[in-house]
Amino acid sequence: MIAPEVFQLSEFDGHATALEGVVPEALRAHAEEAVRSCPERAISSVTPVGGKP
Amino acid sequence: VSTDHDIGEERKDGRLFHFDRHAADYREHFASITEELQQKCPVAWTQTYGGHWVAAGNREVFELARSANTSNDADFRNERRGYQGVTIPSPEQSGRKTATRGGFLEMDPPEQKAYRQALNAYLSPAAIKRWIPFVDEIVRACIDEKIESGRIDFVDDMANVVPAVLTLAVMGIPLKKWEIYCEPAHASIYTPPNSPDMQRVMIGYRQMIEDLRRAMLEIRETPRPGLIDAVNGVRVDGQVPPEDDLVGVLLLLIGGGFDTTTALTGNSLAWLSEHPAERERLSRERESMLDSATEEFLRFFAPAPGDARTISADCAIAGVDFREGDRVWLSWAMANRDPSIFEAPNTVDLDRRGNRHYSFGLGIHRCIGSNLARTVFKRMLVHVLDRMPDYRCDPAGTVYYDTIGVINGVKHLPATFTPGPRLGAGLSETLETLQALCTETGLSEPVTAGAGDE
């Protein structure tokens, strides 16, 4: 898993879920790599209102 | 199924391309054929095998694989729409009179989903992690059989054995039976349909099917944990599925578990032998490189190079007018070499990031054993790097599959290395120990919901 700090993996069925909340700046690079690596293109990132671009 | 496809049809104009994955020189010319297809027509029409589309572009494969207007159904008895499943040529076109549906890979939802849901808990990352010490023991024993001699055939002596033994263990089949399964599982894939050897291969294959059927009925009578027990519990529309469908599911699990990981391992070890500096770097920096290298080997060698679909409703996808009944080949292998997605696509870059390869397929039929495959591959690779770091494969003795149309595999991969000491028992003694471990520790049990949430 590329960004284990940002996603939770279900032990039961193996599906990943994004943890709630804003991704801390320190984990930004990992999260963006996860977006770029997902073959299903199922992950996207959005900038929260008032957040840094 | 409509068979009146006229190659003069307007929708095929400018898209005609001769394409035959089973041709003897396909492996050699794969990169240039891919390049030509992607430049000229990322979705092409070929007249081979009754006429079918070939999707070679990354974006096009993505859209088709995830479209609701494609079907995986294999309806060999013509009870629904007569679709021919995920192989091209279809079993009928290959001259095989009796064909079993290829498990849930040749089913559509909701039927397909019933099986996937039953099996997920045995194959999730958490479930597979429990097997690592087991896998390490098989790999150790395989290497111990050869380590003092300085010679090994990486396919025959290791990459065939480890995935086979583990797959049987996960299914709930006695480990000592691995040899009954191993040869037919591989030979049925690499033997061309017209080969004189096919008859002998099919005898072994039928013995394997009968053993699977017996195991299934035996486990139904006296349940023991594993994938077979899970398959026995599947109900479709509240009904027990036909026995042949269940046997097809078990064959799919054997096919998925055995030949694919063997193919990935053979190709990767051959590549690392040719690139000793990269091999040395991978071994030294494995902490940071093993994951990306594994994904890159998957991308580059694409053990299962593609799957067919049948278009289930007239539709336009990626600018092509598809008609209901059209057959389409989705080439994961070619999509993995698309320069619009992968920089220097024909180069192996063990540090590659953002590696969106399709080697496990895409969408609802994505490989259910991907976690198992990655784990088994990595453990074999690491043991080889540790115990025979200077191995050299013998190109003259290396035998690739006669056809790579189904699996991009290696039949034999002999190598030499500096001999080393044995670390433990041989293979047959180890299998006995591991069998007892399976029985005593309940390794083949599923991971239950919520187990990891405490």
- Model pLDDT for residues B403-450, shown as the tens digit of each residue: 888 899 999 999 999 999 999 999 999 999 999 999 888 899 998 755
Question: DSSP class of residue B11?
Answer: G
Judged by CB atoms closer than 8 Å, whether chains meet at B366 and A14 is answered as no
B356–chain A nearest CA distance, Å: 4
Q: Out of B354, B360, B366, whose CB is closest to A33?
A: B354
Q: Residue B48: how many CB atoms within 10 A of its CB?
A: 18
Instruction: Give chain A as a 3 state SS string.
Output: CCCCCCEEECCCCCCEEECCCCCCHHHHHHHHHHHHHCCCCCCCCCCCCCCCC
Q: Residue B372: how many CB atoms within 10 A of its CB?
A: 25
B256–chain A nearest CA distance, Å: 18
pLDDT of residue A51 exceeding 90, the answer is no
What's residue B230's pLDDT?
Answer: 97
What's residue B451's pLDDT?
Answer: 46
Judged by CB atoms closer than 8 Å, whether chains meet at A12 and B123 is answered as no
* Count of A-B CB contacts under 8 Å: 55
Q: Out of B353, B356, B451, whose CB is closest to A39?
A: B356
Question: What percent of chain B is helix, strand and coil (3-state, nearest 5)?
Answer: 50, 10, 40
Query: Which of the residues in chain B have pLDDT under 50?
Result: 1-4, 451-454
What's residue B60's pLDDT?
Answer: 97
**Cα B373 from Cα B261, distance rounded (Å):** 6
Judged by CB atoms closer than 8 Å, whether chains meet at A33 and B448 is answered as no
Residue B109 contacts A, CB cutoff 8 Å: no
Residue of B nearest to A36 (CA): B354
CA-nearest of B353, B419, B363 to B388 is B419
Alpha helix segments (H runs only) across B191-340: 198-221, 227-232, 243-274, 276-284, 286-301, 332-335
Dihedral sign from CA coordinates of B231, B237, B240, B243:
negative
Residue owning tokens 């690592």:
B132
Residue B448 contacts A, CB cutoff 8 Å: yes
ipTM over 0.90: no
**Cα B153 from Cα B269, distance rounded (Å):** 11
